[in-house]
């Protein structure tokens, strides 16, 4: 039985969750709501410089996407892209490249 089929009714009705975020393996993630299931396999990073800040980059992109009302698939892609980019930069607060600005 899939996890969604087994646990989701409990999360939505008993716990009153609105969104569940699962980070899988190195760079995959799944976002679940009562009506959507967003899965992303992540982006391949050729050269990891520093993973510090990658989770924060993921979380910020997730929050922005949710606030803007984007579908979970789009949010998940943006969050993974942001986290992957953060891994290619040194330190916890890299500057965004021009192609990332305005991505939302």
Q: Could you tell me which of 83, 73, 79, 60 has the C-alpha nearest to residue 33?
A: 73
CB-count burial class (<10 Å; 0-12, 13-18, 19+) for 58: buried
CATH number for the segment(s) 3-87? 3.40.1190.20
User: Can you give the pLDDT at residue 64?
Assistant: 93
- Contact call for residues 44 and 53 (beta carbons, < 8 A): no
- State the Cα–Cα distance between residues 52 and 74, nearest whole angstrom: 24
DSSP 69: T
Its pTM stands at 0.76
pLDDT tens by residue, the chain, 104 residues: 455 566 666 776 777 778 888 887 667 898 888 888 887 888 888 888 888 888 888 999 999 999 999 999 999 999 998 888 888 888 776 666 665 656 55
Residue 42's region, left for phi above 0, alpha for psi from -120 to 50, else beta, is left
- Domain locations in the chain? 3-87
């Amino acid at each position: 039985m899939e996890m969604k089929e087994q646990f989701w009714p409990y999360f939505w009705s008993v716990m009153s969750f609105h969104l569940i975020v699962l980070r899988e393996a190195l760079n995959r993630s799944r976002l679940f709501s009562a009506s959507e299931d967003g899965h992303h396999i992540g982006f391949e990073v050729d050269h990891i410089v520093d993973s510090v800040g990658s989770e924060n980059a993921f979380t910020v992109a997730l929050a922005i996407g949710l606030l803007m009302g984007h579908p979970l698939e789009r949010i998940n892609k943006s969050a993974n892209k942001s986290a992957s980019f953060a891994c290619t930069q040194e330190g916890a607060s890299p500057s965004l490249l021009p192609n990332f600005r305005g991505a939302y």
